[in-house]
Amino acid sequence: MKATITDVAKRAGVSMKTVSRVLNNEPNVAEKTRERVKAIALELRYSPNLAARGLATSKSYLVALMYDNPSPNYIAHMQRGAIDACREVGYHLVVEPLSLGSAKTQDEKAQAIRTVLDQLPVDGVILTPPLCDSATVLETLSELRIDCVRVAPKNGGLQPFVAMDDEAAAYQMTQYLIQQGHKRIGFVKGHVGHSATVWRYQGYMKAMEEAGVEASPKIVAQGDFSFESGATAARDLLSLDAKERPTAIFASNDDMAAAIFSVAGQFGIDVPRELSVCGFDDTPLAQVIFPALTTVRQPIYKMGYEAARQLVASKKVGLEPEQILDFEIMIRDSVASPAS
């Protein structure tokens, strides 16, 4: 039914091995032979049987994307990027959610990973936050001798990673707000313990300090990335006296920014005329609220792409163990100059 390597070999009048060499781009095949075999393979619509190949090479031509519950948006884009990179070299992507609830012991975590990976011996795994920051996960993978690439990890380490510069993004966004003429720029922090929380806040502070604008603690609120926490923060910030009340608020993510919209509406404050708001992440939400939200777009697709590429690229190619990707400031309609 389906063509095998033997069919191609017979037709081309060469040995299986030679066909195999051509298919794998190995050297030491006469150019003429190579062309002929390629043509015939195409004609027969031959494509190698991954199981057989895997058995012979003890490789699986599979890459796993492991994640523990990030947002649908995040994982969908990431996986799309990873898949595209895989396809370029004949790999496929399997997705493996892993629930490492905090209740579990380290041993149980390691066991969970083993269970998944023992069955399916993938050639590499992509680790997204928070998995990429778990020492247990990293150790287990290294015991299993499985390559991995981490996405946006908290800190560097032995394994390669791809990330974006959250601090620089927050810095630029804050600068943009300042350029628009804002002086009292509020900030809503993210979830304590999440690395991005710190970076984003630092970027904000840096821009404020450099511009000589005071970032009074009064206008910096603690959030936790949830809509609810954003609403609470917004109520605090917007209850301030007219003299103190911020003319712009920079939320550490889009959900909280959306909450600020809602609260502003309840307070009868018009966005962006009386209050500018910006967020972080560029979730789909950003474009389905009014006014459209100015926010930071993370290169999620690209991170997935690069992570997978590191894993599947032939080892000869020089790859950087640490890749910092560019973000993009999406300027939309939620920021305006302050009413003077």
Please report, as ranges, the residues that interact with a copy of itself according to CB under 8 A.
Answer: 2, 45, 47-52, 54-55, 58, 60, 62, 71-73, 75-77, 79-80, 83, 90, 92-97, 114, 118-121, 227, 231, 255, 258-259, 261-263, 265-266, 284-285, 287-290
- Is-contact 16 46, C-beta < 8 A? no
Whichever of 4 and 262 has its CB closer to DNA, that residue is 4
Q: Which spans in 95-250 are helix H?
A: 106-119, 135-143, 166-179, 195-210, 227-238
Find the DSSP H helices in the chain: 5-12, 16-23, 31-43, 50-57, 72-88, 106-119, 135-143, 166-179, 195-210, 227-238, 254-266, 300-312
What span, in angstroms and rounded, lies between the C-alpha atoms of 336 and 5? 65
234 contacts 259 by C-beta, under 8 angstroms: yes
**In the complex with a copy of itself, which residue's Cβ is closer, 178 or 260?**
260
Of the residues 39, 42, 43, 55, which one makes contact with DNA according to CB under 7 A: 55
Is 13 near DNA (CB under 7 A)?
Answer: yes
Which partner, a copy of itself, DNA, none, binds residue 285 by CB below 5 to 8 Å per kind? a copy of itself
Closest CA to 86 of 308, 264, 245, 275: 308
90 lies in the site for DNA, by CB under 7 A: no
- Binding to DNA by residue 5, rule CB under 7 A? yes
Per rule CB under 7 A, is residue 20 in the interface with DNA? Answer: yes
* Site for DNA contains 28 (CB under 7 A): yes
By three-state DSSP, how is residue 66 classified?
strand
4 is a contact residue toward DNA (CB under 7 A): yes
Residue 33 sits in the site that holds DNA (CB under 7 A): yes
C-alpha to C-alpha distance for 117 and 244, rounded to whole angstroms: 55
d(CA 283, CA 257): 11
Please choose which of a copy of itself, DNA, none residue 24 contacts, taking the beta carbon within 5 to 8 angstroms, the exact cut-off set by kind: DNA
Do strands 322-325 and 124-127 pair parallel, antiparallel, or not at all (unpaired)?
A: unpaired
Strands 62-67 and 322-325: unpaired
- State yes or no: residue 56 binds DNA (CB under 7 A): yes
Q: How far is the CB of 32 from DNA (least distance, A)?
A: 7
CB of 308 to DNA, least distance (A): 21
The correct pick among 10, 29, 136, 221 for binding DNA (CB under 7 A) is: 29
Least Å distance, CB 92 to DNA, is 16
- Please, are residues 131 and 104 in contact by the beta-carbon 8 Å criterion? no
Binding site partner of 280, from DNA, a copy of itself, none, Cβ cut-off 5-8 A by kind: none
CB of 12 to DNA, least distance (A): 8
**Binding site residues, DNA, CB under 7 A:** 4-6, 13-18, 20-21, 23-24, 27-31, 33, 46, 48-49, 52-53, 55-58
